[in-house]
């Protein structure tokens, strides 16, 4: 089965954020057809949009995947459910958030999975960790991620020494 490289953003701002990010990584690693090939540092980030809420812990990973984009999304939703993710409020606080950012440069306007992620090019909490692991990356429709004009003021290296491996 052919494989593609995919970029996945991980975030959490409720409960044990470190454990949630590590759980997401471990869950993806244990999925047949997915090989984790790069993991960013964990960043402390200000929430963007939504209600007042705690800061997030965010990371970005690159995987080589034999799954379709939709199968990858379904697996992400399973892992979010494992961490008791609820979807009560748009951009509300989350125990775990897994966003599919890019899947082999595919472009799709499917309402269930828009590719590339429709706001990735604006989000410092996605671009900063992605630059760390793939500085030469190109985001379809937006060009090199290193050339994107993003506001990274709310993105900080983790003060808790958090990392996932």
Q: Which residues are catalytic?
A: 85, 94, 97, 99
Alpha carbon distances (Å) from 42 to 45, 68, 117, 126 = 9, 27, 20, 11
Q: What is the distance between the alpha carbons of residues 52 and 108, in angstroms, rounded to a whole number? A: 32
Name the residue among 100, 1, 14 with its Cα closest to residue 50: 14
Hey, how many other C-beta atoms are within 10 angstroms of the C-beta on 20? 28
Distance CA 94, CA 83 (A): 9
Instruction: Please report, for residues 28, 69, 115, the alpha-carbon distance to residue 165 in angstroms, rounded to integers and kept in the order given.
Output: 12, 24, 27
């Amino acid at each position: 089965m052919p494989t593609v490289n995919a970029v996945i953003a991980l975030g959490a701002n409720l409960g044990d954020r470190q454990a949630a990010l590590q759980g997401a990584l471990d869950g993806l690693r244990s999925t047949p057809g997915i090989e984790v090939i790069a993991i960013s540092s964990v960043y402390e980030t200000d929430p963007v949009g939504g209600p007042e809420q705690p800061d997030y812990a965010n990371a970005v990973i690159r995987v080589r995947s034999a799954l379709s984009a939709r199968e990858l999304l379904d697996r992400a939703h399973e892992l979010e459910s494992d961490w008791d993710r609820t979807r009560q409020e748009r951009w509300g606080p989350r125990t775990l958030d897994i966003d599919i950012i890019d899947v082999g440069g595919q472009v799709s306007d499917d309402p269930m999975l828009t590719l590339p992620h429709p706001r990735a090019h604006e989000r410092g909490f996605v671009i900063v960790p992605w630059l760390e692991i793939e500085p030469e990356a190109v985001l379809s429709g937006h060009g090199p991620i290193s050339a994107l004009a993003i506001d990274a003021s709310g993105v900080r290296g983790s003060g808790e020494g958090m990392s996932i491996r």
